[in-house]
Structure 1
């Protein structure tokens, strides 16, 4: 199991600032930014097919390709070439990070802040960190060409995680006997009309596109079943967990898995209707419910997510 490369203490960012590998770039820093490309829509991979017997093309599905963010910046430490070289070395270390570079599931993080927005982040690979000239390095000026490629997922995410913890007692009012939920159990407007104290499973994706949750079920528990009342999507596991054991499920694009105690793959214990790659949190408010067998009443469900956005 791999997690994105992060630093122990997150760095706060002001508007017009970005952070890569612990180094802050942009307004008010020693690495001012001249221009940024790639903040618009990602490139589209069109699946059109030429008409073999006439004019035109049959339109197919349009998928997003990687989003590549290119940053033109420069290290600026007037009269201090040593400080400039040290900053360049720190940026090169971000590229060299083995956890993000040498493993297929490895991801680096690009964080940024647009005026009027909170800090948002993107996951991908740092593909270029080039000092395009050293002509003025002696004066502490090194121009940079930086490329960050969001390969699996072009979305931006909130820097802060949202979290929900539910015991079975809290979810008791929302248990469903129908084990083949296919449609929403309540519309978003209906879910928003009740007293929040009566709906402990409410969750909110503040972004403008669907987000991908991380889910952990803590034992003792038998046959846990989790659903979203708005999307109707369900995750069912045909297994039992002892006290102290857990199952963690990850749904983000390209990294879907289900692990027992962080080691054993239990994806085969998911029922056929359980699609990790489709268990997304819609934008706005929805509700998580769950059911299981636990005579002790001590099991719990943890859900965490980051609100997702199309833009910085």
Structure 2
């Protein structure tokens, strides 16, 4: 299902359009700035002051003060509340750990950005519903407080392309070599146009075995020494906060990476960087696909 088109001052709440030029007027929204901080400062024994520990962001709480305005139509007001409740109470989100719904926001001069949220409050006040007016308080919690681009970015990298370095045995024809004088023209380069680390979803399609994926700039790698993929089968490595899973194409759990591999650190920093991967593949038909959303500190 394609995403709703948003104009300035509009919101997409799980597929329901609210905000400017709709029947649900948004009066005020809070929680769009810096998310709450989980501090870990420690008192210094026998000394004044504190030792400054690391600060971590907590979940982002979004409060929306809105009002349904459909003059003279109480039934339509009730229908709108029911529509919002159906969108925010979906059991495949509410009852499944780690799942959330999309909250998309469009502000003047800014592209559409999104959060993955759970609904914590949807409270209509029906005192004036007979006049077609229903104040509405909504509250959402984004467990990952980072803002993300509305559109996904995708790049695919076959094993046969070389972006640098040399050959690794066994070398099997056909081998395709590109000089790669321009980084953007070479497969394996990923660009995060945002200001925060982006978290990729990596899909490896066989046939291949003994896979290692490396983010060149950071040197971080994900090694799967026991992975053995038949032709047409694939596994997906989801590095996103709240997910961080390795699954087969049928949804089952696939073999995880080696103990030295850190899925929770395998991010794409702002700017352009390179991904490489190695594996054993006698057919030169295996593929690696990287999907991510640009990530932003601010809306």
Q: TM-score of the superposition, structure 2-length normalised?
A: 0.91
Q: Counterpart of 1:116?
A: 109
Q: Counterpart of 1:251?
A: 239
Structure 1 residue corresponding to 2:126, chosen from 122, 125, 134 = 134
In 1, the alpha carbon distance for the partners of 2:285 and 2:28 equals: 54
Structure 2 residue corresponding to 1:87, chosen from 69, 80, 84 = 80
How big is the shift at 1:264?
Answer: 3.4
How big is the shift at 1:234?
Answer: 0.8
In 1, the alpha carbon distance for the partners of 2:189 and 2:147 equals: 23
Q: Counterpart of 1:157?
A: 148
Contact 1:246–1:260 under 8 Å retained in 2: yes
Q: 1:37 and 1:198, CA in 2 relative to 1: closer, same or farther beyond 3 A? A: closer
In 2, the alpha carbon distance for the partners of 1:150 and 1:262 equals: 28
How big is the shift at 1:142?
Answer: 0.5
Structure 2 residue corresponding to 1:221, chosen from 196, 208, 216 = 208
In 2, the alpha carbon distance for the partners of 1:88 and 1:199 equals: 50
How big is the shift at 1:267?
Answer: 4.2
Q: Counterpart of 2:139?
A: 147
How big is the shift at 1:272?
Answer: 2.6
**Runs of 5+ in structure 2 lacking a partner?**
169-179
Kindly provide the CA deviation profile for residues 224-244 of structure 1, in whole angstroms up to 9, marking residues without a partner as x: 111112222111111211101
**Runs of 5+ in structure 1 lacking a partner?**
1-7, 179-192
Q: 1:108 and 1:198, CA in 2 relative to 1: closer, same or farther beyond 3 A? A: closer
Within a 5 Å distance, the mapping from 1:133-212 to structure 2 comes to 133-151=125-143, 153-170=144-161, 172-174=162-164, 194-196=181-183, 198-212=185-199
Contact 1:175–1:291 under 8 Å retained in 2: no
Aligned residues: 287
Q: Counterpart of 2:171?
A: none
In 2, the alpha carbon distance for the partners of 1:274 and 1:176 equals: 23
Kindly provide the CA deviation profile for residues 251-294 of structure 1, in whole angstroms up to 9, marking residues without a partner as x: 011210111224332344x1233211111001011111111111
Contact 2:163–2:187 under 8 Å retained in 1: no
In 1, the alpha carbon distance for the partners of 2:183 and 2:33 equals: 37
What SS class does the counterpart of residue 157 from structure 1 fall into? strand
Q: 1:220 and 1:56, CA in 2 relative to 1: closer, same or farther beyond 3 A? A: same
Contact 1:95–1:128 under 8 Å retained in 2: no
Contact 1:45–1:62 under 8 Å retained in 2: yes
Q: 1:242 and 1:31, CA in 2 relative to 1: closer, same or farther beyond 3 A? A: same
Q: Counterpart of 2:175?
A: none
What SS class does the counterpart of residue 268 from structure 2 fall into? coil
Contact 2:42–2:53 under 8 Å retained in 1: yes
TM-align CA RMSD: 1.8
Q: Counterpart of 1:74?
A: 67
In 2, the alpha carbon distance for the partners of 1:274 and 1:237 equals: 9
Q: TM-score of the superposition, structure 1-length normalised?
A: 0.87
How big is the shift at 1:175?
Answer: 5.5
